Amino acid sequence: MSIKTKTIIILIILSLTPYIITMGILGNAYRTDIEERVRYDMQNQLDITVDRLDQTLRSLDNDLRFVSSLDVMNDIITQDLDQRIFSLLLLKKNDLNLIGNFFVLDTSERVVASTDIESLGEIYSGPRFEALPIFSTFDERQAGTLLVDYSEENLTRLFPQTDTLRYSMLSSQAALPQDLQRGDYILVERPLEQRPEWRVVLAQDTDFAFSALNRLTRVFFIALVIGVFTIATVAYLIANYIVNPILALSTTARSITRTQDYSQRVAVNRKDEIGQLSTAFNHMISGMQEMIARVREEGENRLKLAQEKDRAEMLQTLSNKLSKYLSPQIYESIFSGEKDVTLSSSRKKLTIFFSDIVNFTGTTDKMESEDLTQLLNQYLDEMTSIALEYGATVDKYIGDAIMIFFGDPHTKGVTEDAVNCVRMAVAMQKRVNELQGEWQAAGFTKPFKIRIGIHTGFCTVGNFGTENRMEYTIIGSSVNLASRIESSARPDSIYLSEDTYLLVKNAFQCIPVESVVPKGLSDPLQLYRVVTMLDEQELIQLDAQGVSLMLEKSQISPQTRQQLQDILQQLDSGSED
């Protein structure tokens, strides 16, 4: 049974129970009370009627006694020759309006006088309602009998004539008439005092007795029917009011279960507990929807992650392999997403580094290729490590030459980039000198010397080539210039262009070297050499008033030495003068 049906039934029962109980109690009590009152009234009326009948009978008895005592009754002896008894009886009959007859019998029961003339002279054999002896007044002997044939009708005609009350005269032994036995009557009865063998029954139709109550009951019943209808309607509405939101919840829940569509919601248009339940349900569904979305997303993410992990592992492997061919900065920039792998380029001011091994071919032509490869690899590996240490971008290896630049993809500023580049170059020179010992110990007797050229200028940097084959590199005249500077440099030296020199002159000691005219340029270019720690042992510097001198002993030719000696001699003679 549904909650709606239960609610309707419960509401109807709850509403009607007090009504029915009240109606039942009142109806029953009222009915009992009415019956008692009716019975009481009937008993009173019956008492009045029976008293009247008794009075009538007493009166009859008195009349008979009086008549029987009259002197005229002596006429029985003369057979009522003068009809005085007859006259008396007739007078009395008329007086009483008697239904029936008086009879006066002599001692032989023969009718001497009677209001029933036909019976005169007959031996009386009729009913004797009452018979009194007649005594002669002169000798007090019984002269005869006075009797009356008294019809019941004499009494029943005294019953009050009403439409609602029904009187019956019955013998005490007689059963009630059939219609009165049906139980549709309220009955009271009382025997006659004068005639105990008779009783009077008074009946009243219950329909009449309870007519007021029945009318009231009908009104109550109609009210009950209307009440039931009204209560049922109200109960239905209340049940709907209570249950419909629950049904909506249930329907939505089933629909969600069936369709797995967690976007469905229950309409909330009330603020009571059911409204709160609906709101809570909606919140729960929202939570579930979010959770499911999250789980789904998480699943997808995990799947993606797994796929990406595989891919990443593969890429990692690939990139590890590729990294060998790329500058770590480029590699990191590309793999961290800082740079798109597209054909694009930008113009930047970079510091470009070139180095190569002086007379590499001549130095290595006698070496076994395996040894050469090992030597070259070690050299490049060491140089690359230093380059990375200083944040350089290793552009490419060209045989024994290395092309490096600073300023892309990461830059610390043009000046700092240039300084870092020179520091790197110095570190490389130092490391190559250290490696010389190792190589000689390994049997490479001919030492490697490297030369380095550095220039700072604008370049175009980016991916060049085709969509299928790209190369991250720099191009421009500055690159060529840097290469030319490197070609111009002497072994174990670092040459800077003037542009670079101006940027690093506060950080490094440099000395100007010969000017060169690079290919494609008409003007000579002033170059500077970085003074390294190795140089400092052979370097003589004097900065005093009137003197600015820097001598590099190893670089001084015999002619220059002679010129210097001449200058000194001139200075000595001049001071002597």
Backbone phi and psi for residue 386, each to the nearest 5 degrees, phi listed first: -65, -45
3-state SS assignment for residue 166:
strand
Nearer Cβ to other proteins (72/511): 72
Window contacting other proteins (CB under 8 A); options: 29-37, 67-75, 528-536, 545-553: 67-75
Interacting span for other proteins (CB under 8 A) from 71-79, 244-252, 307-315, 515-523:
71-79
Residue 107 DSSP one-character state:
T
Stretch that binds other proteins, among 55-63, 73-81, 148-156, 358-366 (CB under 8 A): 73-81
**3 state SS of 447:** coil
Please report how close the Cβ of residue 79 comes to other proteins at its closest, in angstroms.
7
* Stretch of 74-82, 194-202, 420-428, 429-437 contacting other proteins, by CB under 8 A: 74-82
Site residue total, other proteins (CB under 8 A): 13
Residue 365 binds other proteins (CB under 8 A): no
Choose between 89 and 330: whose C-beta lies nearer to other proteins.
Answer: 89
| 69 touching other proteins, by CB under 8 A | no
Please state the length of the chain. Answer: 577
- Is residue 195 helix, strand or coil? coil
Indicate the residue among 30 and 135 with the shorter CB distance to other proteins. 135
Measured from the CB of residue 203, what is the shortest distance to other proteins in angstroms?
Answer: 52
Q: Which is nearer to other proteins, 139 or 365 (CB)?
A: 139
Under 8 Å between Cβ of 401 and 355: yes
Nearest to other proteins of 135, 159 (CB atom): 135
Amino acid making up residue 187: L
CB of 139 or CB of 576, closer to other proteins: 139
Question: How many whole angstroms separate alpha carbon 247 and alpha carbon 234?
Answer: 19
Residue 71 makes contact with other proteins by CB under 8 A: yes
User: Smallest distance, Å, CB 64 to other proteins?
Assistant: 21
* Closest CB 120 distance from other proteins, rounded Å: 16
CA dihedral 517, 520, 521, 525 (to 10 degrees): -40
CB of 84 to other proteins, least distance (A): 5
Nearer to other proteins, 112 or 213 (CB): 112
Q: Where are the beta strands (DSSP E) in 370-521?
A: 393-398, 401-406, 450-465, 470-475, 494-497, 510-516
Q: Write the DSSP symbol of residue 140.
A: -
Q: What's the closest the beta carbon of residue 140 comes to other proteins, in angstroms? A: 10
CB of 80 to other proteins, least distance (A): 9
**How many whole angstroms separate alpha carbon 469 and alpha carbon 464?**
8
Whether 431 and 424 have beta carbons less than 8 Å apart is answered as: no
The region of 22-30, 72-80, 355-363, 410-418 touching other proteins under the rule CB under 8 A is 72-80
Contact letters for other proteins, residues 109-148 (x by CB under 8 A): ---------------------------xxxx---------
The residue (of 139 and 543) whose beta carbon lies closer to other proteins is: 139
Q: How far is CA 447 from CA 185, 238, 420, 457, 546, in A?
A: 152, 107, 27, 33, 42
Distance (Å, whole) CA 350 – CA 494: 17
What residues between 77 and 96 interact with other proteins by CB under 8 A?
77-79, 81-82, 84
Three-class DSSP labels, 196-249: CCEEEEEEEEHHHHCHHHHHHHHHHHHHHHHHHHHHHHHHHHHHHHHHHHHHHH
Nearest distance from C-beta of residue 179 to other proteins, angstroms:
54
CA distance 146 to 70: 11
| Minimum CB distance to other proteins, residue 66 (Å) | 16
Residue 74 is a binding residue for other proteins (CB under 8 A):
yes
Which of 53, 54, 75, 510 binds other proteins (CB under 8 A)? It is: 75
Do 365 and 444 touch, CB atoms closer than 8 A? no
Its sign, for the CA torsion 260, 264, 270, 271, is positive
> If residue 529 lies in a helix (H) or strand (E), which one and from where to where?
strand 525-530
Identify whether the C-beta of residue 507 lies closer than 8 Å to the C-beta of residue 518.
Answer: no
**Tokens of residue 550, six digits:** 């820097």
Question: Can you give the binding site for other proteins, defined by CB under 8 A?
Answer: 71, 74-75, 77-79, 81-82, 84, 136-139
